[in-house]
A and B are shown apart, each in its own frame.
Chain A
Amino acid sequence: MKALSLPLPAEPMPGQIRFGALRRSARLLFGTPLNAVLTLLFGVLLVATVPPMLRWLVIDAVLFDPSPRACRVATGACWSFIYAKSGQLLFGIYPLDERWRPAIVCMLILALLAWSVRPASWAPRLAALWVAALVLIFWLMAGGFGLTEVPTSSWGGLPVTLILTVVAIGVAFPVGILLALARRSTMPAIRIGAVVLIESVRGLPLLSILFVASIMMPLFLPEALLPDKFVRALVALTIFAAAYLAEVIRGGLQAIPNGQYEAAAALGLPFWRTQYLVILPQAIRVAIPALANTIIVMIKNTSLVLVVGLFDLISSGKAVLADPDWPSPAAETFLFIGAIFFALSFSFARFADFLERRGPTAH
């Protein structure tokens, strides 16, 4: 490159910089009449809302006083309720003496999730680790083999949300890949089967699929063949997620040029190895933003299981509010539950963002 011979501007004094920045932001905020009006309106809005919000959240709030009476008289939020009820909020109606079991389950799932997002741990053994962990989790939750048995109807709260999310999405992802491939198959029977399944699932609201699984299935199936209600809801969520993920992955597959298939074929790679090594890594990468979107929606969809009588976080929130000793602080409770969902969804969004940036950039 040719060296430029422009004179360098004299180094500005620190004071000048600050002044310049001030002038720049002033121009940005009040530069045009419209900007000035918007700035003023927004300022009024902030002044009107922030102080009362702060007062409610912190200043007038009951932070530590553990007695319900403090909350009755306070005009602010009742955070002590969240502490006092944290066990029931997080673990629902799970037997009190056995709460250490769902506590371990939650920590195990969160630890495994944290472990799984590291590229260094991506190996076939990670899948084996998850399968082993799920067996352990199911044993801890349900009991038997030395532990007190706890039926799924007594499960509740965070472990239910986490198990539903992780298992439904974890199983739906590979199933979705298979459905996407089936829908592009040249074999008519396979293609039509995939189309019928995907389109019927997409045509129904998740609520109705959950109702079919939990209320109608018992009408058709004999008692002995009927899976547990929890398992039925899990299957319904999985099928729902798989249909949506399949369409997103199919979109990614369509972006792969024919030359990739031809190059793999010319090297003698058979069908499945071509998919696994060449096509899917590229298709999934293309589809990451849409995949992340679908998965985040699914994380929150798990709370719909409350309509078929399973107790996820939101249902245990409703349950704790029913305590007559307390003034029923619904806003605080649902803010707390919302924060948990936000933490899960936002972490996942960050992970998807990291995946998108990783690897070769498009040329």
Chain B
Amino acid sequence: MLSSTAKRVPPMPDPNDPPAIEMTGMNKWYGNFHVLKDINLTVLRGEKLVICGPSGSGKSTMIRCINRLEEHQQGQIVVDGVELTNDLNKIDVIRRDIGMVFQHFNLFPHLTILENLTLAPIWVRRMRREQAEQTAMYYLERVKIPDQAHKYPGQLSGGQQQRVAIARALCMSPKIMLFDEPTSALDPEMVKEVLDAMVALAEDGMTMLCVTHEMGFARQVADRIVFMDKSEIIEMNTPAEFFSHPRHQRSKLFLAQILN
């Protein structure tokens, strides 16, 4: 359960498993603007990556390519053994297995919390309503807001909404979770409750890619830190190495700015 604060040893990623995500020679342009340059990144099952870098460096664009909210133009992205192409059916199948949490929550304001959580399981996974509601309540308990189930998103605080968004993604039993700056739209006092939910998810062995500047979180859960700048991956390393011995001038500069 999420509520356990005892530190558990996360299951070690097995390098013999096929990777969860494999990006090779991936390039993307917005018109003439080269927004992702030759991205090569392999994420193993159960691995937790924290992606950081200055604003505008292409972090969001990169993780949004993984569930094809953005389309890449060159290179390969293979998710769970399936290559991302223009085949719409394949994209919807891949999206079911990838959960995403957005900076601005993007809950459905016309539906109650419970309906937000059961919508996709019922209409995409064809789950029976009772079962979907049971699953939804289970995840609401895990993010510690079961008492809000019948409210509307507009009645919840930012931190609560973001935890609902996490629960909504989990209700689809995803194999991979993507987080795009999940705490940067929150008031400071609400950051911790969302990070706690993410830490607990990490302890359960979820494969996670988190764009975040929460370096405490990165130290605690990340297996690797990916540093991006100006459309490229500049450096990739364990948190210990990255924080104590950043190899590149730009990483040093970034760390100095963010840890000051």
Contact = CB atoms under 8 A, between A and B. Distances in A.
Interface of A: 259-260, 262-263, 265-270, 273, 277-278, 281-282, 285, 359-363
B120 interface: yes
B110 A268 contact: no
Majority secondary structure of chain A interface residues (helix, strand, loop or mixed): helix
A266 B69 contact: yes
B106 A262 contact: yes
A359 B107 CA distance: 16
Nearest to A274: B123
Contact of B124 (A263, A267, A278): A267
Contact of B123 (A259, A277, A360, A362): A277
Contacts of A282: 108-110
Interface string B82-104: 00000010001101101110101
A281 B153 CA distance: 15
Contact of A269 (B100, B106, B123): B123
Given A269-B119, A273-B123, 5 more contacts: A263-B106, A267-B119, A267-B124, A267-B172, A363-B154
Nearest to A278: B108
A266 B67 contact: yes
B217 interface: no
B108 A263 contact: yes
Contacts of A281: 110
26 contacts: A259-B102, A259-B104, A262-B69, A265-B69, A266-B67, A266-B98, A266-B169, A267-B95, A267-B96, A267-B119, A267-B168, A268-B95, A268-B124, A268-B172, A269-B123, A270-B88, A270-B92, A273-B123, A277-B123, A282-B108, A282-B109, A360-B109, A360-B110, A360-B153, A362-B109, A363-B109
B243 interface: no
Nearest to B154: A363
B254 interface: no
B99 A269 contact: no
Given A259-B106, A263-B102, A269 B154 contact: no
A155 B154 CA distance: 52
A8 to B, nearest CB: 34
A100 B233 CA distance: 80
Contacts of B109: 282, 360, 362-363
Contacts of A260: 106, 108
Given A282-B109, A362-B154, A266 B119 contact: no
B69 A359 contact: no
Q: Which 4 A-B pairs have the closest CB atoms?
A: A363-B154, A263-B106, A268-B96, A360-B152
A37 B46 CA distance: 82
B152 to A, nearest CB: 4
Nearest to B151: A360
Contacts of A266: 67, 69, 95, 98-100, 169
B95 A285 contact: no
A138 to B, nearest CB: 35
A191 B123 CA distance: 28
Contacts of B100: 262-263, 266
B102 A359 contact: no
Contact of A361 (B69, B154, B168): B154
A305 to B, nearest CB: 37
A274 to B, nearest CB: 10
B123 A265 contact: no
Contacts of A265: 67, 69, 95
Nearest to B123: A273
Nearest to A284: B110
A196 to B, nearest CB: 27
Contacts of B88: 270
Given A262-B69, A277-B119, A362-B154, A268 B93 contact: yes
